[in-house]
Amino acid sequence: MALPSGDAQLVQIMDAALADAARRAGSWLVCREGCTPCCHGAFIINALDVERLRAGMTTLRATDPSLAETLAQRGRAWIAEYGPAFPGDRDTGAIGDSEEDRQAFEEFANEAACPALDPATGRCDVYAWRPMTCRVFGPPVRMGEGEALGCCELCFHGASEAEIASCEMTVPHELEERLLAELDDASPSARETLVAYALLSPVPHATTPPCDKAPCPAR
C-alpha cells in the first residue's frame, strides 16, 4: 500500500505550523533534542502514520541500512518485552476491540521508550517520518473541534491562559482525514497499530474495525 501523495503536503503544513507556533511561544516552548518524556508510553498510530513510517524505513534501508536494521531490532525487542501484556493481537499489532481491551490499553506500556528513540542521543531516528501525534506535542493544540487546548506540561510555565492560547498550533485535521479515507479505499484492512509494528516490514493489517481510543500525545 503506497503512501498517499498528499501526505507530503500534510507534513509541510505541519512543519510550517510548528515553526510558527514555536516562534510565537519563544522561551515558553522548551522542546529540544534530548528531551524525551513525550517519547515514552505506548500510543496508537493511524494507517497514514504507518505508511509514512514504512516509507521512511524503505528510504533508510537504501540510504542507511545499518540504522534501518537497528530500528527493526528495537521494534522486535519492544514487542518481545511488552507483547505478552499487549491488549490485542501480538502477531498483527491489531488493538483489541473489546471494552476490556481498550481499558487495558490505558495502562499498557506507559513507561516504555519508543523504539524509534535512540537511547544514547535522545534523538528520534525517524523524525522526518514521525507520526502526527508526535508532530502536535509541545505547542498548544486542539485534538478535535471544540476541544480544549492542551500542551506539554513542561512548557508554558508562567504563561497565562490567554498567552497560551495566542500560541495555538492549527492542525489540518480535515486533510489528514481525507488522506486516511484514501488509504481506506485502497486497502480497507488498513488500521491503527503501534510504532514498533510499523518499523517492521511488511506491517500486518487486521480486518477488524479500528480502535477509537484517542492517541496519547507524544513527540
- Please name which of 195, 181, 215, 159 lies closest in space to residue 54, comparing C-alpha atoms: 195
pLDDT value at residue 186:
85
Q: What is the mean pLDDT of the chain?
A: 89
DSSP SS3 for 193: strand
* CA–CA separation, 59 and 99 (whole Å): 38
**167 secondary structure, DSSP code:** T
- Residue 207 forms part of a structural domain: no
- Residue 219 forms part of a structural domain: no
- Residue 215 forms part of a structural domain: no
Domain count within the chain: 1
pLDDT, tens digit, 9 for 90 and up, residues 67-98: 999 999 999 999 999 999 999 999 989 888 89
- Residue 140 forms part of a structural domain: yes
- Residue 125 forms part of a structural domain: yes
> Given a cut of 60, is residue 216 above it in pLDDT?
no
* CA–CA separation, 13 and 7 (whole Å): 10
Q: Which pTM was predicted?
A: 0.86
- Residue 141 forms part of a structural domain: yes
Strand partners for 117: 124
Contact (CB, 8 A) for 196 and 79: yes
Contact (CB, 8 A) for 177 and 171: no
The C-alpha cell that represents 160 in the structure block: 497565562
- Residue 39 forms part of a structural domain: yes
pLDDT value at residue 201:
66
Phi-psi map region of 64: left, alpha, beta (phi>0 left; psi -120 to 50 alpha): beta
Q: Which residue has the cell 491562559?
A: 161
pLDDT, tens digit, 9 for 90 and up, residues 152-198: 999 999 999 999 999 999 999 999 999 999 999 887 777 889 999 99
- Residue 14 forms part of a structural domain: yes
The domain containing residue 111 runs over which residues?
7-198
Burial annotation 32-61 (CB, 10 A radius, 16+ → b, else e): eeeebebbebbbbbbbbbbbbbbebbeebe
